[in-house]
Amino acid sequence: MKYKLKFLGLFLVIGPMAAFYQNEAKGLGEQLMSEKINQERQSDQNQDDSAADKKDSSAAPDMDKYVDDTFSCLKTYKGPITDLSGDHKYDNFNLYAVGSKRVPVEARFDARDGIWHQRKFPDAPNGLPVKISSGSVNGSSLPTPVCFTGGTFIGTNDPEMNWREAKQRPRGRAILLVSDRSIIDGARIDNVGEDGVGLFVPRKHKAVTSYNRHIVRNTWFSNIYDDAIEETQMQTMLVEDTLFDGVMQAVATDPAGGSSDAYRKNLVTLNEVLIRTKPVPHPDKKRAPHGVYHGFGLKMRSATPHGWSFQKSVFAYDDREKPHGNGFASRFRAALSTTESCSDNVIAWMGDGAWPAKVLVERGAIKEIENLNKKFPGCFTILEGREGRQFWEGARRNWINCHPQVGRIPKNVSPKLPHVDPSSDASKCDTNAYGGGGTNISATISLAP
């Protein structure tokens, strides 16, 4: 299909990379993960850091250039380590800064062998498994940096739960961090309602910043009923080397409580990110029998003033289920209109129908893509149909192969969740290809001024 030539005039030369993805796609799903969580784990910690080293194994692949930087903030942050190992079921972990009690600077929470269950519907035994607040929400105390590594969050929500049921109070998330310079590294989050993670800075300390107040990296989201990442304070944030494997919405930055032009100096960066959106059931099945989603994976309004940076990321969409889109093109256009840097990104239209040019033209998104490709040559390339599907499946498979330390959802954790996560084959990891994390920029980040 040649709509990309008609509307964008883009020519894609993938070469050997295309062959790599096609070959990898053929084998997708052939291997099943055993029921043991995190069976494949490579050594990542310095031998001197005994508290962190005890859970490492010798599963690291013997490869000259392969470096798995998952859980790196256990090295770069220097605060005390809290071990969160164990199957916590529906118990939750809450840590607050109250009175004279403070969360230590650069506190490290090691959940690499930690498992939690989350459910909001039809009942809610635990809608928020992990909440760490290193500064009071009203801003009376200064927030401190936090490193949260690992964690396997298994949602047992009814797969037929609709979007409005997922949004009902109390709020549901796998992880909520109220902190400054917080890092989530290497979590596995599936079937969670309503959001995957929430990232906030205490209100009194919201400000224009040049450093990343939040980082999400090496994390695998799937089957999220609303926002996989909710950050509605327009702070500078980096999302890197992360797989959004079928979510209603990937990154939401709609302003909570209004916005200010001052925040335009803040920047949200997506670097080596893979996003595939999918619909969730709509409460009105007559209006939207195929479900609802927010379209291109970025939920923001034109009033949101911060900038965006898109680097070597993939945005995959599928029209085969014909979902009811909420701002399908307009919200993507809003993000594109404030883009400050852009290179080597792919839009994979996986449907058998035509690239939705009519919708995009009407909403102005095509014009924004054209403008960005003029301003930043190679900003976006569009693939369609079978080519788009093969590209996505290959990138997804490569990400999984390159992240053997990230937890896995075990088989049959719920009668309504029969799926199982595929295992990693690190010998097939191509760090230079999409999903390989070869241009990660956050592995050595520690405190910023």
Q: Which two tokens stand for residue 392?
A: 């996505």
| Stretch (H or E) spanning 360 | helix 357-363
Q: Report how far residue 209's alpha carbon sits from residue 375's, in angstroms, rounded to the nearest whole number.
A: 26
Low-confidence stretches of the chain (pLDDT < 70) are 1-66, 97-100, 135-141, 169, 203-211, 255-264, 288-290, 292-296, 300-305, 319-331, 353-365, 414-419, 442-449
Show Cβ contacts of residue 85 under 8 Å, excluding neighbours closer than 6 positions: 55, 110, 111, 112, 113, 114
Tokens 């335009």 identify what position? 264
Closest CA to 190 of 63, 397, 10, 37: 37
Q: Report how far residue 180's alpha carbon sits from residue 178's, in angstroms, rounded to the nearest whole number.
A: 7
Show Cβ contacts of residue 295 under 8 Å, excluding neighbours closer than 6 positions: 277, 317, 325, 326, 327, 328, 329, 331, 332
| Domain boundaries along the sequence of the chain | 3-428
At 343, phi and psi to the nearest 5?
-160, 140
Per-residue model confidence (pLDDT) at position 187: 98
Q: Report how far residue 58's alpha carbon sits from residue 272's, in angstroms, rounded to the nearest whole number.
A: 27
| Residues present in the chain in total | 449
- SS3 assignment for 131-151: EEECCCCCCCCCCCCEEEEEE
At 62, phi and psi to the nearest 5?
-90, 85
Q: Are 28 and 21 in contact (CB under 8 A)?
A: no
Beta bridge partners of residue 19, listed in sequence order: none
Q: Report how far residue 278's alpha carbon sits from residue 369's, in angstroms, rounded to the nearest whole number.
A: 22
Concatenate the DSSP letters of all residues of 234-275 into one string: ---EEEES-EEEEEEEEEE-PPSS---GGGGG-EEEEES-EE
333 in helix, strand or coil?
helix
Q: Which two tokens stand for residue 432?
A: 């230079």
CA distances from 43 to 19, 37, 39, 151, 379 (A): 31, 16, 13, 17, 36
CA distances from 263 to 144, 235, 254, 259, 330 (A): 21, 7, 13, 8, 21
Q: Are 146 and 103 in contact (CB under 8 A)?
A: yes
Amino acid making up residue 49: D
Give CA torsion, residues 252, 253, 254, 260, to 10 deg. 180
Determine how many CB atoms are found less than 10 A away from the CB of residue 46.
11
